[in-house]
C-alpha cells in the first residue's frame, strides 16, 4: 500500500474515503467496475480501502468491447424489436416455471396466489456474435423492452399480474443467439377446489401460460426439461406440494390456434393441526353426551349435565367456524359430521326430558299402549332368540336355522310374557337402555358413513 505506483501494476485502487454513500468508479480502459462504500472514522481520520479486480485477464473485457458489441447488435444491424426472429420460421419458446412461494389458497374465492418466475428461452439469429472479436464477451444483459420477446399471458389469472418490486426484468443474450428471460410475477389464478374430505383434502390447481394474440404458426410454446421446478420453493404452513405435472396444449379462437402450457400443482392439506384442535376435542365432547345414560333417571342432575355438554359442543363448533372452509359448492364431510353430532345431542336432550317425565309420573297415570306394545315385542323377540340358541346344536345347526322354533315353543314363550301393563318406572328404564344402545350404534356408524 505504500508503493505509489502499485495501482499501475495490478488492478488495485487506493483512495481516501470521505463519504458514507457507495461510489462507483470506472474508466474506459478498465476491464471491470469497482464499487466501494466510504466512511469516516473519528479516531483515526480518513482510512484507505483497497479493492481487487474480480476478473482475471482470461475472462475480463474492456468497456469499449461491450460498447462496440452493443452498437453492432442494436445500431449498425438496424435491429427492430417489433419484428420476431426468423419471419419465415416458427419461433420455439421453451418455458419453465420456478415456484418460490405459495402465498395463499382461498377456498371461498377459489383463488390460488403464488410467487414465482418463468424461465423462457428462444433463439434470435440477429443477435449472434464472435466472442473473440469482442474481448471474449460470452453474454450480455439488456432490459426486456430493448429486444423482441414473446407476448405471453396467464390465461386463468383473475387479477392483473403483479411484477416483483414493480421493476422490469432483464434478458440475457448469449453469443450463439440464445435469449433467456426470467420475469418474476405474483400470480392470482382461479382454482376449482373440492373440500369434501376436509381436512384430509388435496387440491389440483393449474397455471395456464398462453401466447394469446400470436398464433402457434408464429410462436410455439414448449415445455423444457424442468417444466415446474421446486428448487426455490419455501414450504407452506398449511399445504405441501405432493405432485407436479405439466403439459402442452392449444386453444382455438376465431379460427386461430394458440399455444398453451399448463402447469399442474397437486397440494395436500397438512391435517395434523385440525385433528388436534378440531376433530379430537369435538369427538371427546360428543362422547360425553352418552354418559347421560349412566346417571340415574330420577336425578335432577341428569338434565343439567346434558344441557352443559350440548352448550359446550355449540361453543366449540362456533369457535371452529373460522377454521372451516366456507363454500357451498362442496360441503365438507366434517361439517356434516358436526351437524349430525349436534342434532343427536339436541335429540338426546328431548329424550332425557321425556324419560324423566315418564319415570316420575304417578302410577295412576298409565303410559300409552304403544309403549307397552313396543316393550312386549322387543322382549318377546329376545326370548325367541334365546330359545333358538338352545335348540341349535352342532349336528342340526343349519336345519334349526331354517325351521326356527316349534309352535309349542312359541306358545310357551307367549305364555311366559307378562300380560299386565308395565309400570311407568319399568318403561322409563327400558327405553333409557334402549336409547343408549341405539344412539351409541348410530354415533359409531356416523363416522364411516360420512367418510
Task: With beta carbons less than 8 A apart as the criterion, state whether 228 and 263 touch.
Answer: yes
β-strands 219-229, 91-106 pairing: parallel
Tens-digit pLDDT profile for residues 138-153: 999 999 889 999 988 9
Q: Structure pTM?
A: 0.67
Share of the chain above pLDDT 90, in %: 24
Tens-digit pLDDT profile for residues 29-58: 333 333 333 333 443 333 333 333 333 333
What is the dihedral angle through the alpha carbons of 87, 90, 91, 95, rounded to the nearest 10 degrees? 160
DSSP state of 383: H
Q: How far apart are CA 282 and CA 293, in angstroms?
A: 19
- Domains identified in the chain and CATH numbers: 6-52 (no CATH), 63-270 (2.70.170.10), 273-367+422-450 (1.20.58.390)
Q: How far apart are CA 153 and CA 211, in angstroms?
A: 6
Tens-digit pLDDT profile for residues 403-414: 555 555 555 555
Task: With beta carbons less than 8 A apart as the criterion, state whether 61 and 136 touch.
Answer: yes
Pick from 4-13, 77-86, 177-186, 370-379: least confident: 4-13
Q: How far apart are CA 416 and CA 188, in angstroms?
A: 76
Q: How confident is the model at residue 391 (pLDDT cuts 50, 70, 90)?
A: low
The larger pLDDT score, comparing residue 210 to residue 365, is at 210
258: helix, strand or coil: strand
Instruction: Return the H-helix or E-strand segment holding 389.
Output: helix 369-391
Tens-digit pLDDT profile for residues 366-387: 777 777 777 777 777 766 656 5
Average pLDDT over residues 94-110: 92
Burial of 267 (0-12, 13-18, 19+ CB in 10 A): buried
The larger pLDDT score, comparing residue 121 to residue 335, is at 121
Pick from 95-99, 160-164, 427-431: least confident: 160-164
Q: How far apart are CA 214 and CA 54, in angstroms?
A: 43
Q: How far apart are CA 248 and CA 48, in angstroms?
A: 59
The mean pLDDT of the chain is 76
Task: With beta carbons less than 8 A apart as the criterion, state whether 241 and 230 touch.
Answer: yes
Share of the chain above pLDDT 70, in %: 74
Query: How would you label 27-59 residue by residue, b for 16+ Cβ within 10 Å and e otherwise?
Result: eeeebeebeeebeeeeeeeeeeeeeebeeeeee
Amino acid at each position: 500500500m505504500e508503493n505509489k505506483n502499485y495501482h499501475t501494476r495490478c488492478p488495485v485502487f487506493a483512495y481516501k474515503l470521505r463519504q458514507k454513500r457507495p461510489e462507483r468508479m470506472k474508466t474506459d480502459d478498465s476491464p471491470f467496475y469497482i464499487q466501494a462504500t466510504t466512511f469516516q472514522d473519528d479516531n483515526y481520520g480518513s482510512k484507505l480501502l483497497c479493492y481487487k479486480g474480480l476478473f482475471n485477464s482470461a475472462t475480463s473485457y474492456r468497456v469499449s468491447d461491450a460498447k462496440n458489441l452493443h452498437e453492432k447488435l442494436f445500431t449498425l444491424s438496424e435491429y427492430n424489436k417489433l419484428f420476431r426472429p426468423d419471419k419465415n420460421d416458427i419461433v420455439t419458446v421453451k418455458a419453465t416455471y420456478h415456484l418460490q412461494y405459495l402465498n395463499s389458497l382461498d377456498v371461498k374465492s377459489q383463488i390460488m396466489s403464488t410467487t414465482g418466475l418463468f424461465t423462457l428461452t428462444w433463439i434470435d439469429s440477429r443477435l449472434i456474435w464472435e466472442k473473440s472479436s469482442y474481448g471474449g464477451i460470452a453474454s450480455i444483459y439488456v432490459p426486456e423492452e430493448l429486444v423482441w420477446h414473446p407476448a405471453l399471458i396467464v390465461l386463468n389469472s383473475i387479477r392483473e399480474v403483479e411484477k416483483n418490486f414493480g421493476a422490469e426484468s432483464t434478458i440475457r443474450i448469449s453469443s450463439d443467439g440464445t435469449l433467456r428471460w426470467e420475469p418474476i410475477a405474483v400470480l392470482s389464478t382461479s382454482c376449482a377446489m373440492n373440500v369434501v374430505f376436509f381436512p384430509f383434502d388435496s387440491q389440483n390447481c393449474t397455471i395456464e401460460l398462453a401466447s394469446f394474440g400470436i398464433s402457434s404458426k408464429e410462436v410455439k410454446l414448449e415445455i423444457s426439461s424442468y417444466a415446474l421446478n421446486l428448487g426455490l420453493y419455501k414450504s407452506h404452513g398449511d399445504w405441501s406440494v405432493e405432485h407436479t405435472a405439466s403439459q402442452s396444449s392449444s386453444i382455438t379462437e376465431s379460427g386461430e390456434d394458440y399455444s398453451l402450457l399448463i402447469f399442474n400443482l397437486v397440494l395436500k392439506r397438512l391435517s395434523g393441526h385440525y385433528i388436534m384442535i378440531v376433530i379430537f376435542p369435538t369427538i371427546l365432547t360428543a362422547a360425553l353426551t352418552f354418559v347421560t345414560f349412566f346417571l340415574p333417571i330420577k336425578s335432577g342432575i341428569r338434565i343439567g349435565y346434558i344441557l352443559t355438554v350440548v352448550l359446550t359442543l355449540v361453543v366449540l363448533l362456533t369457535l371452529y367456524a373460522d377454521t372451516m372452509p366456507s363454500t357451498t359448492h362442496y360441503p365438507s364431510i366434517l361439517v356434516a359430521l358436526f351437524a349430525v353430532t349436534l342434532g343427536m345431542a339436541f335429540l338426546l336432550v328431548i329424550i332425557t326430558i321425556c324419560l324423566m317425565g315418564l319415570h316420575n309420573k304417578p302410577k295412576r297415570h298409565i303410559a300409552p299402549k304403544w309403549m307397552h306394545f313396543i316393550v312386549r315385542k322387543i322382549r318377546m323377540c329376545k326370548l325367541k332368540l334365546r330359545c333358538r340358541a338352545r335348540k341349535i346344536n352342532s349336528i342340526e345347526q343349519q336345519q334349526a336355522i331354517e325351521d326356527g322354533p316349534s309352535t309349542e315353543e312359541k306358545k310357551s314363550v307367549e305364555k311366559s310374557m307378562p300380560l299386565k301393563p308395565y309400570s311407568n318406572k319399568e318403561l322409563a328404564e327400558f327405553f333409557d337402555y334402549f336409547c343408549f344402545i341405539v344412539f351409541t350404534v348410530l354415533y359409531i356408524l356416523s363416522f364411516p358413513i360420512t367418510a
